[in-house]
Amino acid sequence: MKNFQLNVTSEIGKLNGVILHTPGIEVENMTPENAEKALYSDILNLSIAQKEYAQFKGVLQKVTNVYEVKDLLAQTLESNDAKEALLHKICCEEKCFDIIDELKSLPSEELARQLIQGVPIRRNNLTKYLTDDRFALRPLHNFFFTRDASMSVWDNVLIGRMASKVRERESFVMENIFQYNQNIKADTINPLTAKHKLPLDPRVSIEGGDVQIGAEDLLVIGCGCRTTTYGIDFIIEELKQRKDTPKHIIVQELPSTPESFIHLDMVFTFLAEDKCMVYEPLILGRNKYQTIHIEIDNGKVKKIETEENLLKALAKRGIHLDPVQCGGTADRWTMEREQWHSGANFFSFAPGKVIGYARNVHTIDQMSKHGFEVITALDLIAGKKNPDDYAKAVVTIEGSELARGGGGARCMSMPIQREKFTWK
pLDDT over 60 at 32, yes or no: no
Angle between helices 80-94 and 168-180 (to 10 degrees): 160
Q: What pLDDT score does 365 carry?
A: 98
pLDDT (0 to 100) of residue 38: 46
What's residue 192's pLDDT? Answer: 87
Confidence of residue 348 (pLDDT cuts 50, 70, 90): very high
* Of the listed ranges 38-47, 263-272, 280-289, the one predicted with least confidence: 38-47
**Is it the case that residue 332 has pLDDT exceeding 90?**
yes
Q: Kindly report whether the peptide bond that precedes residue 323 is cis, defined as omega within 30 degrees of 0.
A: no
* pLDDT for 197: 55
d(CA 252, CA 314): 11
**Mean pLDDT to the nearest integer, 239-249:** 92
> Is the pLDDT confidence value at 31 over 80?
no
At 258, the pLDDT band (50, 70, 90 cuts) reads confident
Mean pLDDT of 395-416: 95
Kindly report the three-state secondary structure assignment for every residue of the chain: CCCEECEECCCCCCEEEEEECCCCHHHHCCCCCCCCCCCCCCCCCHHHHHHHHHHHHHHHHHHCEEEEHHHHHHHHCCCHHHHHHHHHHHHHHHCCHHHHHHHHCCCHHHHHHHHHHCEECCCCCHHHHHCCCCEEECCCCCCCCCCCCEEEEECEEEECECCCHHHHHHHHHHHHHHHHCCCEECEEECCCCCCCCCCCCCCCCECHHHEEEEECCEEEEEECCCCCHHHHHHHHHHHHCCCCCCEEEEEEECCCCCHHHCCHHHCEEEEECCEEEECHHHHCCCCCCCEEEEEEECCEEEEEEEECCHHHHHHHCCCCCEEEECCCCCCHHHHHHHHHCCCCCCEEEECCEEEEECCCHHHHHHHHHCCCEEEEHHHHHCCCCCHHHCCCEEEEECCCCHHHHCCCCCCCCEEEEECCCCCC
pLDDT of residue 148: 97
Asked whether the predicted pLDDT for residue 255 surpasses 80, the reply is yes
Q: What is the mean pLDDT of residues 146-153?
A: 98
State the pLDDT at residue 282: 97
Question: Has residue 1 got a pLDDT over 80?
Answer: no
Domains plus CATH for the chain?
4-418 (3.75.10.10)
Dist. CA 419–CA 159, nearest whole Å: 22
**Sheet-wide strand order for 211-215:** 211-215, 218-223, 247-253, 291-297, 300-307
CA distance 290 to 223: 10
In DSSP terms, 354 is beta-bridged to 348, 394
Among 357, 411, 363, 396, residue whose Cα is nearest residue 39: 411
Using an 8 Å Cβ cutoff, are 216 and 7 in contact?
no
231 Cβ neighbours under 8 A, 6+ residues apart? 161, 191, 204, 205, 206
Tell me: the pLDDT tens digits for 185-233?
899 999 988 866 556 788 999 999 999 999 999 999 999 999 999 999 9
CB 194 within 8 A of CB 205: no
Asked whether residue 128 carries a pLDDT value surpassing 60, the answer given is yes
CA distances 212 to 21, 102, 126, 205, Å, are: 20, 40, 49, 16
pLDDT (average), residues 409-413? 98
Mean pLDDT rounded to a whole number for the chain: 94
**pLDDT at position 35 over 80:** no
pLDDT-based confidence at 39, cuts 50/70/90? very low
Residue partners of 348: CB distance under 8 A and separation at least 6: 11, 12, 15, 269, 270, 271, 272, 354
pLDDT-based confidence at 243, cuts 50/70/90?
confident
Average pLDDT over residues 372-388: 98
Is 334's pLDDT higher than 70? yes
Q: pTM, whole model, 2 decimals?
A: 0.95
Q: Mean pLDDT, to the nearest integer, of 375-400?
A: 97
For residue 413, what pLDDT is reported? 98
Tell me which of 19-33, 35-49, 54-68 is least confident. Answer: 35-49
